[in-house]
Amino acid sequence: MKYFSLLLLLMFSCSSSENKKLFDIDELTVENIHAAFRSGDLSSEQLVKQYIKRIETYDQSTGLNSILLINPEAITIARALDEEFKTSGVLRPLHGIPLIVKDNFNTSGLQTTAGSVALKGFIPKEDAYQIKKLVEAGAVVLAKSNMAEWAFTPMHTQSSMGGETLNPYNLGHVPAGSSGGTGAAVASNFGTIGVGSDTGNSIRGPSSHNCLVGFRTTLGLTSREGIVPLYLRNDVGGPMCRTVEDATRMLQVIAGYDPNDPITKHSEGKVPANYLTYLDKNGLKGARIGVLRQLMEDVHPEVNQLFDEAIRDMIAHGAEIVDPLVVGNFDSLRAHQWCGGFKNDIANYLSTYVHWDSLQNIDDIIAYGHNSELVKNRLIAQRDRVGRGGSVTTPCADAYTDELRIAFRNAIESEMDRLKLDAIIYPTWNYPPAKIGDDEGYKGDNSQVIAPHTGQPAFTIPMGFTENNLPAGIQFLGRMFDEPTLIKLTFSYEQATHHRKKPNLVQ
């Protein structure tokens, strides 16, 4: 009996050691990683090694192709953070948390290309502001993710540097663009949290297509410094995560004034002490939410069914639904909002960060070449495009001074005020993810219409799956700087429905 007990003890000890070595990394959150750090069941070094192993096992073998490069210093950084915790007993907000970074964010010591061969070999000296803040909070830059080259398309994620990224839920379909690499990687549990950028769709579209939470925050709440621009006047960088809580933890770190991005001056006095206090499971109770069916004239039947189910779930958890919400002159207000600015914005980026004599403007980029007819056509178009199209002469400006942008926002927020609404909802996409190579299948992208122009915050979270295991998302639009309300509503809906599911990469 004595020897049997000893055998059991040895078996248990071996099992415990093995479990510590092979911690289950599927669907981990910041909270349960930190709990494992505190209990001694896991270290950041072990976690980073397991994520790297997962990337090496699945990313190329499945054809997913979401990762451009793994940070060769990630294990060393994680080991140093483990030593810091061992000495101090204190965990920073994102201590030891592996981060997937879209390849248009400057990363110190790591190549940053925006998917283009023109920037091959460019290694920034400093992190972009948001990356710097995340690293200061303890995050480990684990990998750079593939993206649509120069962020030119919301349809798919394809670049000259990395080829095409597939949707992990169905490899025959797109992950959307342009942050599809981050979307596919975070969805596939290649890292804990991710960051993307959104000019018109590129955080929310890939988050919707990959069953993730995506925060496009108020334009001016977070800095754009060190992010390769598409149209700077619309660009926002932000969280792409598996849970609302983790996205909120990221927002807590990156929000606020950056003197190197003047538009963030508007955030002063509007950032709460702690966004995490708005994670309220009962946040839908008593909320008034408007349904913007003006964006739903052509909706796939399965997406429409999921959206109707989402409304019923909100009502069941105490929300009052105003359906339909009608914004007066909506079509005329949304017209003529886009302004071409890439030509000037990219020249400013190159002169500020890259400093190559051979790469100073869009003509130099064109000369470097590309592997895509779409990219070629977009570059040529952007070379000749500045300002608004057509005969509209209203100057292009930021969300706080552009007359057309202000008028659009005022119309929406005034109607919200009149109806006493907390938020507006609509499907993030009216149609399921398109098939690879099917540009005709790209339709129903609602993210392009409002938030990029008005500057309002818009969050997407999962609302279920259509046929062929394809994710769909629901979007919540709020007032300027009212992220707390959107956090409360999306967290409550998420906790009530639990639509997030991991993909099956073993096929």
Cα separation, 26 vs 16, in Å, equals: 18
Beta bridge partners of 156: none
pLDDT, position 21: 61
Residue (of 169, 205, 208) closest to 189 by Cα position:
169
Q: What is the CA radius of gyration of the chain?
A: 22
Give CA torsion, residues 112, 118, 122, 128, to 10 deg. Answer: -40
The 10 Å Cβ neighbour count of residue 240 is 33
Place of tokens 């409304």: 311
Cα separation, 95 vs 90, in Å, equals: 9
Beta bridge partners of 170: 167
pLDDT, position 15: 37
Cα separation, 396 vs 492, in Å, equals: 38
The amino acid sitting at 268 is E
pLDDT tens string, the chain, 507 residues long: the values are: 333 333 333 343 333 333 446 799 999 999 999 999 999 999 999 999 999 999 999 999 999 999 999 999 999 999 999 999 999 999 999 999 999 999 999 999 999 999 999 999 999 999 999 999 999 999 999 999 999 999 999 999 999 999 999 999 999 999 999 999 999 999 999 999 999 999 999 999 999 999 999 999 999 999 999 999 999 999 999 999 999 999 999 999 999 999 999 999 999 999 999 999 999 999 999 999 999 999 999 999 999 999 999 999 999 999 999 999 999 999 999 999 999 899 999 999 999 999 999 999 999 999 999 888 999 999 999 998 878 877 788 999 999 999 999 999 999 999 999 999 999 999 999 999 999 999 888 999 999 999 999 999 999 999 999 999 999 999 999 999 999 999 999 999 999 999 999 999 975
pLDDT, position 392: 85
Q: Where are the beta strands (DSSP E) in 178-222?
A: 193-198, 213-216
Q: What is the pTM of this model?
A: 0.95
* pLDDT tens digit sequence for 404-419: 999 999 999 999 999 9
pLDDT, position 2: 34
* pLDDT tens digit sequence for 276-330: 999 999 999 999 999 999 999 999 999 999 999 999 999 999 999 999 999 999 9
Domains and CATH numbers, the chain: 23-339+397-497 (3.90.1300.10)
Residue (of 227, 221, 215) closest to 132 by Cα position:
227
Beta bridge partners of 460: 214, 475
238 touches 198 (CB < 8 A)? yes
Cα separation, 180 vs 210, in Å, equals: 8
